[in-house]
A and B are shown apart, each in its own frame.
Chain A
Amino acid sequence: MPHDHHDHDNHLDPMEARTRALETILTRKGLVDPAAIDAIIETYAEKVGPRNGAQVVARAWDDPAFAEWLARDATAAISDMGFTGRQGEHMQAVFNTDTLHNMVVCTLCSCYPWPVLGLPPVWYKSPAYRSRAVIEPRAVLAEFGLTLPESTGIRVWDSTAELRYLVIPQRPANTDGFTRDALADLVTRESMIGTGLPRVPA
């Protein structure tokens, strides 16, 4: 069988073809503008990510008045830092303590605070995490390598289309005198979802 035909032939992935079809239909109807689509992609693929959330956490560690504001009105405190946009309209910050660990899930689909964390990782969107986080949080955390003392309570927050959560982990020990940037470098994405803890300084 000659093999040269397909070498010169383009074949679209079926999902790619359907997506192009939708974009053609919506553009013709004036419902979307291709330039606006490109701008949205650039924002979420390249600009917004968990470094934003890390700056919020670092400031909360460093500035008690800000931490208090964050606890009272996270939406306002976070937008004050310039992190605004879709899926960040209504935010709640949940603070870890010595006796309480918070973790976040979206059992419905994949609601997630985009302005501070970017788009969610694959595991956050997986049916396995979405169904098990509520039922057996301790076992799920153990799979992430996080084993908490039995005395530490776990509270699981179920995100909705209206309300998104940001976990504020506890400030690691031996970080006195750290600059805010140095503190932010310790804050991982997982620590802000509650499936991990911040890095400890070397």
Chain B
Amino acid sequence: MNPPENPFDAPWQAQAFAMTVALHQAGLFTWTEWAATLNKALQGAAPDGSDYYTCWLRALEAILTEKTATTPAEVDALAQRWQAAAHATPHGQPILLENAG
């Protein structure tokens, strides 16, 4: 019997999905709240579903902002630090946030 096909196109999609499941399990939001937030983020999505996880990530940021777990500014700043860390990391080595300096 074949294993199920991998439902994720990129590791970040799996991470975003799993964080959402973990936060729901931890009780940060109900699944009904999540479905409503995801629905909002999916307005205007590509008809073929190709940007589904981009919408998913947007929804996750939105619900975390609503629950005051983070702010868009905090995510922006840290995303830039991760980008700086990537630039400062030689190819082939793991990218660590500390590398951002």
Contact = CB atoms under 8 A, between A and B. Distances in A.
A121 B19 CA distance: 20
B66 interface: no
A125 B87 CA distance: 34
Interface of B: 1, 3-8, 10-19, 21-26, 28, 30-32, 34-36, 38-39, 42, 45-50, 52-54, 57, 60-61, 64, 69-70, 74-83, 86-87, 89-91, 95, 97
B10 A16 contact: yes
Interface of A: 7-26, 29, 31-33, 36-38, 40-41, 44-51, 86-87, 108-111, 118-129, 160-162, 185
7 contacts: A7-B91, A10-B86, A19-B15, A23-B15, A125-B49, A127-B42, A128-B49
A19 B89 CA distance: 18
A45 B48 contact: no
Given A12-B82, A12-B86, A108-B36, 9 more contacts: A26-B69, A26-B70, A32-B26, A41-B8, A46-B3, A51-B1, A86-B21, A126-B52, A128-B47
Contacts, number: 177
Contacts of B64: 22, 26
A25 B74 contact: yes
A18 B22 contact: no
A7 B91 CA distance: 8
B35 A12 contact: no
A10 B91 CA distance: 6
Contact of B49 (A12, A33, A49, A122): A122
Contacts of A123: 48-49
Given A21-B78, A24-B97, A40-B21, A110 B38 contact: yes
Contacts of B87: 9-11
Contacts of B70: 22, 25-26
Contact of B35 (A23, A45, A109, A120): A109
B90 A12 contact: no
Nearest to B14: A41
A179 to B, nearest CB: 14
A123 B60 CA distance: 21
A32 B19 contact: yes
Nearest to A119: B7
B55 to A, nearest CB: 9
A161 B28 CA distance: 16
Contacts of A185: 1
